[in-house]
Every structure is written in C-alpha cells, then in structure tokens.
Amino acid sequence: MNKLKTEDLSVFAEKLLSKRETHLCNSSLKKISIEFLNDVIGFLFPHFSSHAYYSSKDVFAKLQLLERNLLTLLKNVTDIENGKQNNIAKEFMMYIPEIHDKLWLDANEIFKGDPAAESIDEVILAYPGFMAIAIYRIAHELYKLKVPIVPRIFTERAHEITGIDIHPGAEIDSPFFIDHGTGIVIGETTKIGKHVKIYQGVTLGALSVDKILANTKRHPTIEDDVIIYSQAVILGGQTTIGSKSIIGGNAWITQSIPANSVVSSKMEVKVRSTDDYFNSIEFII
C-alpha cells in the first residue's frame, strides 16, 4: 500500500472537518435519548422502576422532571429551531396519559389472547412484543411533533432488544397484539386498526424503495380484527387488508383483500423413503 503523502492528509483533514461541521451531533445524543426513553417507561410501569409514587404530588413532580429532561434532550438535537424545544416538550407531556392508557389496553389484549400468559405483569415484564409496542407509542408522539432523529433512536433501540422493527411514523391503533415478534417489520406509512394480531416474521412493507416516494403512502393498511400469521409479507400503499380477515403464514400479498377473507399460501409436502432420498442427492459441504 502506498504511503499517504502530506498533501493527501491535508485534503483528508479538510474533508473530515467539513463533515463534522455539517453533520454535527452531540456525542451523547443516543445515550441521553435511551436514558429518557427508559425513564418514561419506568414512570408508566412500576415493573421497570425502583421509584415508588405515593401521592398525586409525587406524580406531578415526576412529570415536571420528565419535561425538563426532554427539554435537555431536545437541546442536543441540532435540527430543531431554537425556541421550539419548550413547546415540543410541553406538548409531548400532554400525551403521556393517552400513551399510558393505550399501553395498558395493549398489555391486556396480549394477556387475554395468549394462553401461555399467566398474568398481565408477565406480559409487561417479559414479552418482547409488548416492549416494542411501548417504545413505538412513545416514539410515535415525538414523530408527530416532528422531532428529528430521536424517534428513530427509540424504535431502533426496540429493534435492538426485541428483534421487532416498527417505524415511529406508522399509525397503530390500540389495542394491538404482537405475538413472539422476532423479525416483524412495520413500515413508516403503515396503518393498523384495533384488535390486530401479528405473529413473528411478518413484513408490512413497500413495493418500491425509490426515494421520490418518500412523502407518499407506501405501506399497507390493516383494518380492525385482522390476524396475520408468521412470515406473511404484505406490500404496497394501496393494499388494504379488510377487517376480520385472516392472513395465513408465508402469504405474499400485493393487492387488497376484502373483509372477512381467509388467505392461505399452499405448499406441497412430499413424503418418501429415506433410502430413495439419499440415493438421489449428492451432498456437498
């Protein structure tokens, strides 16, 4: 490899400095974003907090502290216009009671719908699907307030710890049920109604990833009371799955499905002797 010349290093140094100035982001942004996220979850659910609240006064004090911490977080986001951080923080705090109520509905829906769940506390503490929904609901409110970067940090944190990828821009009504959950992908412009149940590996995606479609409806609409079984793929902004439909595992759907439909993907299963099998195939390792 050729040694770098002094002039090459000078060019590189200027390029690096330019990038650092253009894409300046506080080094602690991700860290304090996740700390704030964990603080909100701990406030909403005692399962994740060692702090006890004994009176309304305690709750109000914590809400004020959360607002102050969010303001600190927002001041680290360079793309937010100065002076708007206070309004965003105050507006977000007004959504906290609604987030709380929706999440308890989600947790109860999972508990009622899963025979393996022994209590609603088990759902909240141990179910990755519930944790992904909880983080999504917090991120979604910041997304609606047009906060850049932070909502994605939140939902990518959920992706990291649960294997479930929900874009904060998706519109998901409550109650919502994710069962198992690993490998689920829910795109930005997806719309999901009430009492929808989704199993592991489901993709609610776009037919095209062309950048010019950034501000269009690219992902499907799932109406109320739909069940989508594992590994089903539903694509396209014009695709609607009608209410009370059941989508079978491994289905590939790019067109709308009427209400009360059952969609299945048929596969052929062959049974034969192992003697015939091993005589007819070569294994290469």
Burial (0-12, 13-18, 19+ Cβ within 10 Å), 242: middle
> Mean per-residue pLDDT for 64-80?
92
Compute the C-alpha angle 32/154/188, nearest 5°: 150
**What domains are defined for the chain?**
26-164 (1.10.3130.10), 183-265 (2.160.10.10)
Alpha carbons 128 and 178: distance in angstroms, whole number: 8
Alpha carbons 120 and 117: distance in angstroms, whole number: 7
Q: Which residues neighbour 30 within 8 Å (Cβ) at sequence distance 6 or greater?
A: 153
If DSSP codes are grouped into helix, strand and coil, which group holds residue 102? helix
pLDDT value, residue 277: 56
Q: What is the pLDDT of residues 261-275, one digit of tens each?
A: 999 987 777 787 766
What is the reported pTM? 0.88
Q: What is the pLDDT of residues 208-250, one digit of tens each?
A: 877 877 789 999 999 999 999 999 999 999 999 999 999 999 9
- 């932070």: which residue's tokens? 150
pLDDT at position 1 over 50 = no
> Mean per-residue pLDDT for 24-46?
90
Looking at residue 22, its amino acid is T
Cβ-based neighbour number of residue 276 at 10 Å: 9
The answer to whether residues 129 and 116 touch, using CB atoms and an 8 Å cutoff, is no
Q: Which residues neighbour 109 within 8 Å (Cβ) at sequence distance 6 or greater?
A: 175, 176, 177, 195
Q: Which of 190, 191, 178, 187 is closest to 228 using CA atoms?
A: 178
Q: Which of 226, 230, 263, 267 is closest to 249 using CA atoms?
A: 230
pLDDT at position 285 over 50 = no
Q: Which residues neighbour 17 within 8 Å (Cβ) at sequence distance 6 or greater?
A: none
pLDDT at position 284 over 50 = no
Alpha carbons 179 and 128: distance in angstroms, whole number: 9
Confidence class of residue 278 from pLDDT cuts 50, 70 and 90? low
If DSSP codes are grouped into helix, strand and coil, which group holds residue 178? strand
The answer to whether residues 111 and 123 touch, using CB atoms and an 8 Å cutoff, is yes
